[in-house]
């Protein structure tokens, strides 16, 4: 279950770096935290990368277990859980001895006395309610109190999407509606379909009979025409028509490379519907002197809009189709990471932005990925230390690493 925590890192990052410039770093053994002046905020002692969440806490791993700390490194929740997954705000599902409990990681307080096996992806607001599975049954849990709203479990549960405090419950193939405030049934569990209307009202269908319910549980005979509808939250299937291509479809302009004799190459801009469609090139260029030419990218929003990766005398560079040299053939390899380029010489990597600013010569051990919310690139130094490089000025946020 450890992967549950790692999936949350992008979420934590988005909320963390809007106001703070603190970066995790790895000293070769453990993870700590520095500020944008490269001063150590939290000494390296944790097993995995972590971020300050909402300028208050961080979820950390130590000894293979998870807990939470304050922004100054003080322990809030001891590292005792097998995994911690953010559900909403500081409320998390923390796994301990095979069961999950709701834990407020900003205080360390366990909110729920009852352990559960898993939880539903959606939660309900005002009040905050979470579907949880205990044993073979599903329940609604109040996320503030940690108490179960329904004492009896059901085969499945869900929410009515009208904004009213109503939950759909299913038992033995039949449906009912539960009041999420009181836990009482608004409609008994005996209906084949539920069709939702407005203001918490719904039609409940049983065989060829229809009852119309209001949000307070009052019912009157309903309109039998709903029997022909398929807008039931309990059983609806939304049909999608297959996309059909007509003769007017001509595809998009793109870049193609053709090998000629020896070191001769032809590069074309073409519009084609399929890869093997016959076309007349919109533009054509002849290149010579390269042992290999391949498309590096084609993007009409960039300048230049097309680039070729070429090899000359065993070294790699980048050129425009027109032949203009963008990067000389001095590199062992160049790779496109989508928002930046990584160069390599003698096993070391460098970093170039798409506006061709060089943030680092090939002196790094590895460039991993970009974190655009943090405005940094995750990198590894030759000595095995890891941390972040500023996207704007190339500053490295690892203590005692100079540029």
Quick check: 191 and 205 in contact, CB under 8 A? yes
**Smallest Cα–Cα separation from 106: which of 74, 128, 148?**
74
Residues 318 and 308: their CA atoms lie apart, in Å, by 6
Looking at residue 266, what is its pLDDT?
Answer: 95
Residues 226 and 231: their CA atoms lie apart, in Å, by 9
Report field, pTM of the whole predicted structure over 0.95: no
| Cβ contacts of 44 within 8 Å, gap of 6 or more | 25, 26, 27, 29, 30, 31, 32
Mean pLDDT, the chain cut into blocks of 10 residues (403 residues total): 38 44 95 94 96 93 97 96 95 96 96 93 76 96 93 92 84 94 94 89 92 92 69 38 48 87 93 70 90 94 91 97 95 96 98 96 98 95 97 94 61
Q: Where are the domains of the chain?
A: 22-103, 129-221, 253-397
Phi, psi of 140 (to 5 degrees): -100, 130
- How many alpha carbons fall within 13 Å on the CB side of residue 15? 15
The tokens for 222 are 């309903």
DSSP 227: G
How would you classify residue 55: left for phi > 0, otherwise alpha for psi between -120 and 50, otherwise beta? left
Looking at residue 226, what is its pLDDT?
Answer: 63
Residues 64 and 75: their CA atoms lie apart, in Å, by 16
Phi, psi of 36 (to 5 degrees): -75, 0
Looking at residue 198, what is its pLDDT?
Answer: 85
Q: Residue 127, preceding bond cis, omega within 30 degrees?
A: yes
Looking at residue 123, what is its pLDDT?
Answer: 64
Residues 113 and 122: their CA atoms lie apart, in Å, by 21
Helix and strand numbers (H, E) in the chain are 2, 35
CATH number of this structure's domain 129-221: 2.40.10
Quick check: 129 and 180 in contact, CB under 8 A? yes
Looking at residue 150, what is its pLDDT?
Answer: 95
Phi, psi of 15 (to 5 degrees): -85, -20
Looking at residue 20, what is its pLDDT?
Answer: 58
Residues 276 and 358: their CA atoms lie apart, in Å, by 39
| Cβ contacts of 208 within 8 Å, gap of 6 or more | 224, 227
Looking at residue 2, what is its pLDDT?
Answer: 38
- Measure CA of the first residue to CA of the last residue in the chain; give whole Å: 39
The tokens for 34 are 């520095």
Other CB atoms within 10 A of residue 304 CB: 16
The tokens for 159 are 């929410």
The tokens for 94 are 């923390």
């Amino acid at each position: 279950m450890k992967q549950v925590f790692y999936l949350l890192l992008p979420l934590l990052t988005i909320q963390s770096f809007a106001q703070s410039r603190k970066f995790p770093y790895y000293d070769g053994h453990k993870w700590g935290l520095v500020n944008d002046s490269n001063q150590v905020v939290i000494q390296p002692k944790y097993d995995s990368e972590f971020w300050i969440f909402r300028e208050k806490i961080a979820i950390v791993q130590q000894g293979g277990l998870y807990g939470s700390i304050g922004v100054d490194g003080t322990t809030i929740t001891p590292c005792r859980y097998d995994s911690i997954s953010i559900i909403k705000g500081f409320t998390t599902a923390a796994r301990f001895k095979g069961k999950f409990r709701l834990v407020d990681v900003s205080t360390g307080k366990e909110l729920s006395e009852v352990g559960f096996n898993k939880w539903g992806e959606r939660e309900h607001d005002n009040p905050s309610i979470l579907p949880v599975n205990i044993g073979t049954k599903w329940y609604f849990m109040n996320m503030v109190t940690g108490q179960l709203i329904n004492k009896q479990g059901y085969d499945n549960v869900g929410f009515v999407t009208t904004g009213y405090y109503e939950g759909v419950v299913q038992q033995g193939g039949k449906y009912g509606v539960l009041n999420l405030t009181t836990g009482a049934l608004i409609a008994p569990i005996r209906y084949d379909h539920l069709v939702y209307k407005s203001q918490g009202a719904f039609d409940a269908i049983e065989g060829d009979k229809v009852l119309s319910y209001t949000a307070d549980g009052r019912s009157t005979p309903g309109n039998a025409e709903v029997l022909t509808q398929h807008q039931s939250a309990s059983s609806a299937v939304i049909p999608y028509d297959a996309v059909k291509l007509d003769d007017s479809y001509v595809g998009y302009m793109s870049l193609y490379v053709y090998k000629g004799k020896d070191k001769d190459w032809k590069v074309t801009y073409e519009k084609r519907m399929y890869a093997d469609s016959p076309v007349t090139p919109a533009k054509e260029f002849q290149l010579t002197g390269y042992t290999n030419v391949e498309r590096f990218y084609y993007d009409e929003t960039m300048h230049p809009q097309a680039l070729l990766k070429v090899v000359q005398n065993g070294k790699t560079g980048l050129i425009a189709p027109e032949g203009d040299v963008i990067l000389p053939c001095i590199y062992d390899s160049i790779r496109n990471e989508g928002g930046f380029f990584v160069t390599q010489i003698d096993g070391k990597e460098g970093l170039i932005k798409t506006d061709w600013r060089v943030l680092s010569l090939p002196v790094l051990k590895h460039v991993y990925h970009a974190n655009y919310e943090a405005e940094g690139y995750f990198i590894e130094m030759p000595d095995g230390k890891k941390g972040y490089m500023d996207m704007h000025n190339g500053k490295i946020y690892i203590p005692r690493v100079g540029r």
